[in-house]
Amino acid sequence: MSNTKQIPRRGTLARAESRQALGFVSPALAGLALFTVVPVVLSIVMGFFNWPTFGEKTFVGLDNYVKLFTQSPDFWPALRNTFVFALLYVPISVGLSLLLAISLSARIRGRGMLRVLFFIPVVTPMVANVLVWKMMLQPQGLFNGLSQTWFGVELPNFLADPQWAMIMVVMMSVWQGLGYNMLIFSAALEQLPESVVEAARIDGARGFRMLWSVTLPMISPSLFFASIMTMITALQVFVQPQLLTGGGPGNATQPLVQFIYNQGFKFQELGLAAAAAWILFAIIIILTALQFRAQKKWVHYEH
Amino acid sequence: MKKIHVGAMAVATAAALVMTGCSTGGAEASSDTIVIDMWAGSQSDTDALNAQLAIAQEQNPDLKIELRTAPWGDFFTKLTTNTASGNMACVTGMNSGMLSSYTAGFAELTDADLKTAGLDPADFAPGSEEILSNKGTMYGLPFDIATMLVYYNQDMLDAAGAAVPQPGWTFDEFEATAKAATTDGKYGFAVGMGDFQWQALPIAKSGTQPVETDGTLDLTNPDFVDAATWYSGLVTDEKVAAPVASASDAGWGETQYSGGNAAMAVDGTWNAVTYLDNDSGFNAGMTTLPTGDNGSLGLILGSGFGIAKDCENKEDALKVLGSLLSADAQDYIASSGRSYPARVSSQPLYFESIDEQHRDQVEAVFTKAFEQVEGQKVSDNWSKVGTYIQPQLVSVYNGQESMSNVLESAQQQFGE
């Protein structure tokens, strides 16, 4: 098995193998082409057309984009709602799950159990989660019932009040997504190299100092990953407002994706929907790129 | 190079497989097959459709007829994509409330077409021709007809000592009953969120629809605005109905009623049997919409079948349509109690299918309710109007917005 013997054979073998490999991946490639590349390209094209579901499709250039920004009464509110949601959701979700992961990293009793408990909302279907939250939040629900019997105070109609509705959507989403980020952080915390931690301890690092100067920099790649993924899912939020508040009251909690859904599937304006989807895509790409640029300052990959 | 060919073959085969997989759902499974596309939410729905298909098959032994179904919500999404890709089934189910968005896919039904189908509109209940018509063009004929009723919880009314509503009752009596039944954290009435459910009382009270005959939106019609304001006032002023909890509660009034939280709610005749046999176990009753100074205008709604515009085999499709609406098929629908048939001669069979203790009431209320009905008028963007108004209604019912403001801004936005 010496190197010299293999060199001449490796070329042909590798070529043969890569051909075979191509054969094996071709179903996947075909699937990718059919279900990803084609729709993506089609949606770019659609964005430049007035594309009703049936009837004449006409090329309108940038009209769809102009229409969105200048005429559509729901587009700016939807954009605003998406940003409000992301600005509230990302820091709270990342912060809380980090706190949970750190609290559960100490070897306390029953922490496995607690981790499972916090992870349950991630694996239960969103529809069921929303149903439970609705039963708690509506005027005849749990919270208002308890508050009235205990304190005689009538709580606001949470999901029907423009301000409260958004707060409740964020709260429900944080609760729903907490376990996932917690799991990522827990895994990172478990893998802190003993030697570094020990060295820091010998140098006298304790408590907050330890956390800020040693632990956080060490798990910064996980933090980076979690915040990017959380930001992307936050900008794509749809199910929670759709099911919990229906985008209402009015359009107070209608995010961009729900706007796109309504345009495309309720109003059958596929061109407008495609244009809005590409705006969302651009926003996500730009914000992700900015985060990647910023990571050089605070993410440390080498231990 | 051989292996590359193998790879390319694999790609081609996979692609071919996927593509044929996509198109088997299409109408042209084979060109001499007539496909019927209809919504069906459960096995019993599908069984009933198959029974009607069997009737059609028996009447047209030389045709191949095939049934395609999807649940209500998916049906219209699928219809949208099928229409866009030219795969709309020759005989396609349609509902009066949804037609305006799909008129482009349907062929006009002319008198000659009806003759080919063997159908005479005179055999159907008055107003039936309007159900699947849009701006004077008829696209289909209904197999069932429906209108809106007030349902009440007999037990709650008895407990509150409120008078039991009689067909032909007035709006004053309605308010008195709602007030009397609002006690102990329960409400006398539950407001609706769906277009039909919330608009039924304002339309009955004002005697006018919020759309003109030519499809022009008329949401700011003063009579309608007044009646709609009175309606939302049931929550905000009279406090005889609970404020809606969330804009996602599309069936608020109906679930409040069937859950025993409200004594009355407005819903369609299509749910009459469901409410009579409700799971909560209360004694349910029904009556007509109340009558006011402007009468008691109701909408005649319903579902039926139309023919796809690009159907290649129109004549055969018309024959299938005729069979699906024939007396035999209508008798089947009626006697199974599934819905109230559009064909007049089949209607008595529907009442016979109702449990004996409710039969007289159902027959009396239905007969009275269909006396003063007209076809629903909708604008081209009616589904947009509905989608806009529904989440706004939550703010109206919670007193943060006025009904007249919402109707006015909807009129401004969608009026042209």
Q: Please answer whether residues B211 and B221 qualify as being in contact, where contact means their C-beta atoms are separated by less than 8 angstroms.
A: no
A57 falls within a domain: no
What are the residues whose beta carbons fall under 8 Å from the beta carbon of A193, sequence distance 6 or more? A218, A303
Distance from CA of B407 to the nearest CA of A (A): 13
Average confidence (pLDDT) over A183-187:
93
Which of A243-257, B25-39, B215-229, B368-382 shows the lowest per-residue confidence on average (mean pLDDT)? B25-39
Topology of the domain comprising B33-146+302-373: D-Maltodextrin-Binding Protein; domain 2 (3.40.190)
Which pLDDT does position A10 carry in this prediction?
66
Confidence band (pLDDT; 50, 70, 90) for B19? very low
Confidence band (pLDDT; 50, 70, 90) for B29? very low
pLDDT in tens, B135-194: 889 999 999 999 999 999 999 999 999 888 999 999 999 999 999 999 888 899 999 999
Measuring CA to CA, which residue among B371, B412, B408, B403 is closest to residue B198?
Answer: B403
- Joined together, the tokens standing for residue A296 give 């050089």
pLDDT in tens, A157-183: 899 888 899 999 999 999 999 999 999
A54 falls within a domain: no
Tell me whether residues A248 and B246 touch, CB distance under 8 A. Answer: yes
Half-sphere exposure of B225 (CA within 13 A, CB side): 16
Question: Does A87 score more than 90 pLDDT?
Answer: yes
Tell me whether residues B10 and A23 touch, CB distance under 8 A. Answer: yes
A31 Cα distance to chain centroid: 25
Q: Is B259 on the interface with A (CB under 8 A)?
A: no
DSSP states of B100-146: GGTGGGBPP--HHHHHHHT--GGGBPTTHHHHTEETTEE-EEEEEEE
A256 and A228 within one domain:
yes
Which pLDDT does position B20 carry in this prediction?
41
Give the residue with greater pLDDT, B27 vs B116. B116
Q: Please answer whether residues B119 and B249 qualify as being in contact, where contact means their C-beta atoms are separated by less than 8 angstroms.
A: no
Which pLDDT does position A1 carry in this prediction?
44
A11 and A131 within one domain:
no
Q: B89: which DSSP letter?
A: -
Half-sphere exposure of B103 (CA within 13 A, CB side): 18
Q: Please answer whether residues A249 and B395 qualify as being in contact, where contact means their C-beta atoms are separated by less than 8 angstroms.
A: yes
Task: Measure the CA–CA gap between B407 and A39, rounded to whole angstroms.
Answer: 38
Question: Does A264 score more than 90 pLDDT?
Answer: no
Interface test with A, best of B82, B246, B402 (most A CBs within 10 A): B246
Measuring CA to CA, which residue among B245, B399, B403 is closest to residue A165?
Answer: B245
Which pLDDT does position B16 carry in this prediction?
46
| ∠ CA B111-B113-B114, rounded to 5° | 65
Homologous superfamily of B148-299+375-415: Periplasmic binding protein-like II (3.40.190.10)
CB atoms < 10 A from the CB of A13, how many?
11
pLDDT in tens, B279-323: 888 999 999 999 999 889 999 999 999 999 989 889 999 999 999
What are the residues whose beta carbons fall under 8 Å from the beta carbon of B283, sequence distance 6 or more? B153, B154, B155
- Joined together, the tokens standing for residue A302 give 């080498």
Question: Of A207-211, B74-78, B181-185, B363-367, which one has max mean pLDDT?
Answer: B363-367
A42 and A135 within one domain:
no
Mean of the per-residue pLDDT values of chain A: 89
Average confidence (pLDDT) over A197-210:
88
Distance from CA of A218 to the nearest CA of B (A): 44
Measuring CA to CA, which residue among B140, B105, B146, B144 is closest to residue B305?
Answer: B140
A134 and A17 within one domain:
no
- Joined together, the tokens standing for residue B138 give 């008829």
Average confidence (pLDDT) over B44-70:
92
Which pLDDT does position A7 carry in this prediction?
53
Task: Measure the CA–CA gap between B307 and B292, rounded to whole angstroms.
Answer: 40
Which of A147-156, B17-26, B55-64, B180-189 shows the lowest per-residue confidence on average (mean pLDDT)? B17-26
- Joined together, the tokens standing for residue A9 give 């054979």
A37 and A179 within one domain:
no
Task: Measure the CA–CA gap between B95 and B97, rounded to whole angstroms.
Answer: 5
Which pLDDT does position B218 carry in this prediction?
93
A102 and A31 within one domain:
no
CATH code, domain with A217: 1.10.3720.10
Distance from CA of A176 to the nearest CA of B (A): 19
A208 and A75 within one domain:
yes
Q: Is B394 on the interface with A (CB under 8 A)?
A: yes
Question: Does B27 score more than 50 pLDDT?
Answer: no
B320 Cα distance to chain centroid: 23
A85 and A36 within one domain:
no
The range of the structural domain enclosing residue A11 comes to 2-46
Closest residue in A to B78 (Cα) is A265
A239 and A93 within one domain:
yes
Average confidence (pLDDT) over B80-101:
88
pLDDT in tens, A69-86: 998 888 999 999 999 999
A59 falls within a domain: no
A288 and A228 within one domain:
yes
Which pLDDT does position B4 carry in this prediction?
46
Which of B72-81, B324-333, B349-358 shows the lowest per-residue confidence on average (mean pLDDT)? B72-81
Measuring CA to CA, which residue among B145, B137, B76, B65 is closest to residue B107?
Answer: B137
Q: Is B10 on the interface with A (CB under 8 A)?
A: yes
Cα-Cα-Cα-Cα dihedral of B272, B276, B277, B279, to 10°? 100
Domains B33-146+302-373 and B148-299+375-415 share a fold: yes
Tell me whether residues B398 and A160 touch, CB distance under 8 A. Answer: yes
A235 falls within a domain: yes
Residue B287, helix vs strand vs coil: strand
A152 and A187 within one domain:
yes
pLDDT in tens, A24-34: 999 999 998 89
Distance from CA of B94 to the nearest CA of A (A): 16
pLDDT in tens, A106-136: 778 888 898 899 999 999 999 999 999 998 9
Residue B94, helix vs strand vs coil: strand
Which pLDDT does position A8 carry in this prediction?
54
A87 and A21 within one domain:
no
Task: Measure the CA–CA gap between B341 and B70, rounded to whole angstroms.
Answer: 22
Tell me whether residues A53 and B413 touch, CB distance under 8 A. Answer: no
A52 falls within a domain: no
A53 falls within a domain: no
Task: Measure the CA–CA gap between A283 and B316, rounded to whole angstroms.
Answer: 53
Which pLDDT does position B217 carry in this prediction?
92
Which pLDDT does position A303 carry in this prediction?
54
Confidence band (pLDDT; 50, 70, 90) for B85? confident
DSSP states of A111-148: HHHHHHHHHHHHHS-HHHHHHHHHHHHSTTSHHHHHHH
Which of B69-73, B157-161, B178-182, B226-230 shows the lowest per-residue confidence on average (mean pLDDT)? B69-73
Please list every residue in chain B whose beta carbon sits closer than 8 Å to the beta carbon of residue A134.
245-246, 248
Average confidence (pLDDT) over B251-275:
91
Confidence band (pLDDT; 50, 70, 90) for B3? very low
Mean of the per-residue pLDDT values of chain B: 88
A101 falls within a domain: yes
Indicate the number of domains in chain A. 2
Instruction: Supply the Cα-derived Rg of chain B in whole angstroms.
Output: 23
